[in-house]
Amino acid sequence: MLGLGFPILCVSQARGMADRIEKYQVAKSPKEARIQAVHEAASFWQCGNCAEHAAVAFIFLRDMGVRPIDLMERQKKDHGFVVIGRSPQSPATKPMDWGQAAIVCDAYYDEVYWASLINLKMSGTVQPKSVFRLD
């Protein structure tokens, strides 16, 4: 989805642009404004790491009306991704409790899979946190 070209320079430019865009965002929350800004910058520059890919996927799903969605961050490892359909009663840190309908959308690796496979797909025990959730 997003190009590779000159990754370090491009990601740096995209993140700087996201900082500037975020100041002018009108959103329901500061976190949602930041996700929107990262999405716009990554889309403009056509590049990004996992955080930018996750933001693009999150905004795409949000705009399509998909709910519930979580923008997730893997703790102790640097990786961002989106979860669709996590049960609202489930703790974000326990993927095996997210419910049978939960799906991981890992845009950076261009993968979509059942949340029950997350430890296998991400090589090890995953204890993510939800950065932002829309119900």
The model's confidence at residue 124, banded by pLDDT at 50, 70 and 90, is confident
d(CA 10, CA 32): 23
pLDDT tier for residue 94 given thresholds of 50, 70 and 90: very high
Greater pLDDT, 27 or 128: 128
pTM of the model: 0.83
Q: Please give the structure tokens belonging to residue 71.
A: 């923008």
User: Distance (Å, rounded) from C-alpha 117 to C-alpha 111?
Assistant: 12
Least confident of 2-11, 18-27, 37-46, 118-127: 2-11
Residue 93 pLDDT exceeds 50 = yes
Q: SS3 sequence, 4-72?
A: CCCHHHHHHHHHHHHHHHHCCCCCCCHHHHHHHHHHHHHHHHCCCCHHHHHHHHHHHHHHCCCCCEEEE
Which position has the higher pLDDT, 76 or 126? Answer: 126
* pLDDT classification of 77: cutoffs 50, 70, 90: confident
